[in-house]
Structure 1
């Protein structure tokens, strides 16, 4: 029997080659998701094939099926991920804010940062949500509603006299303003990223001005 040697035995024991393969597979999956978001944002979901997505990252069409069984599964992951990230981020913002006004300002900042750094995902969410299978679309909608309710709760803490319906309208109007960015501006600009982008400053001022009086400080 051939002695593998101490290094090889250690790798076989602690799973390092398997771990490297797992990391490489996860990296490739992320590449495919980024390419899918970019292509779907440009062409729309019906105009993109799995083969197009594979070609964008330098792999053959059949190799894409090692990561996603079909195009629907890829879209499900894209839109589930964006809704869950927004929800988790919104919950984190509110949990750390010292008061509701600060929470609202930081929610605006959080959503702005997301829209400016993930414009492809924003466009795909806005335009192609209807392309999801029914169960996945329902799940994404539920997660989106939970994110909206974070804003509603904060708005009503600032103005207890405001009913939930009006607060919800204000939240959706803010999302509409911020989410329009991928259609009207490059992001982030070459002037210094999100913080140096004049688009961000304008949108932030407009969003806060449209929310309850006294929020802008």
Structure 2
């Protein structure tokens, strides 16, 4: 499994979205003006309207876009398969950890601002997220066939909660290095799924 990080923004549109996510996470959607987002990328506020209709459009593209990216990445990892279902689950976990470590502002924006989306966009995000969860549930049940489907689904949501806690863990400089943090989160996720299945913790 490739451990590639989120790609650096390469277009002006991507730069705008990255800075919008950072500012929305820091100060809230209503606490940020179009002029401030423009200043962060070196263009005038009105110049942003060549790329987006407004802040609402930026927020929708951020939240729909990351939901699509997670689902597409998950499908790719499942399609690529591996030596075993355990290897596929490891790949899914690593892919989500990359997101949790590299896109922390998006996690915050999703938690705070999802309800600000238009109903159609919000429903789209929810649908994409449900498909992503079910992708995981199918793989988890291959690795741990004993729990019920409902238990497996609850465990997947719990592991997402664990991995998506990264915005609340303190500044990056106060945390272990990226590799160590990634390995720690991976062990915790694997351990959580094992606990769901009633498996003893490593070393017990």
Return 5+ residue gaps in structure 2 as ranges: 1-9
Counterpart of 1:31 in structure 2 is 15
Q: Give the match's secondary structure for 2:50.
A: coil
In structure 1, the gaps of 5 or more residues are 1-25
1:170 pairs, out of 155, 179, 184, with: 155
Task: Tell me the CA shift for residue 201 of structure 1.
Answer: 2.4
> Root-mean-square deviation (CA), in Å?
2.1
Deviates more, 1:204-213 or 1:38-47: 204-213
Partner of 1:73: 57
- Structure 1 residue 93 corresponds to structure 2 residue 77: yes
CA contact (8 A) 1:148 1:171 kept: yes
Runs of 4+ with deviation above 6 angstroms: 188-191
Equivalent of residue 115 in structure 1, options 100, 109, 113: 100
1:215 Cα offset (Å)? 10
Conservation of the 8 A alpha-carbon contact between 1:101 and 1:215: no
Distance 1:47 1:60 in 2: 18
Partner residue, 1:132: 117
**Partner in structure 2 of residue 52 of structure 1:** 36
Match of 2:142 in 1: 157
Count the aligned residue pairs.
Answer: 188
Offset, 1:200: 2.3
Alpha-carbon distance in structure 2 between the residues aligned to 1:83 and 1:191: 27
- The answer on whether the counterparts of 2:137 and 2:156 sit within 8 Å (CA) in structure 1 is yes
CA contact (8 A) 2:71 2:132 kept: yes
How far off is 1:162 after superposition?
2.2
Report the Cα offset of residue 188 of structure 1.
Answer: 8.2
TM-score (norm 2): 0.85
State the match for 2:192 in structure 1.
Answer: 210
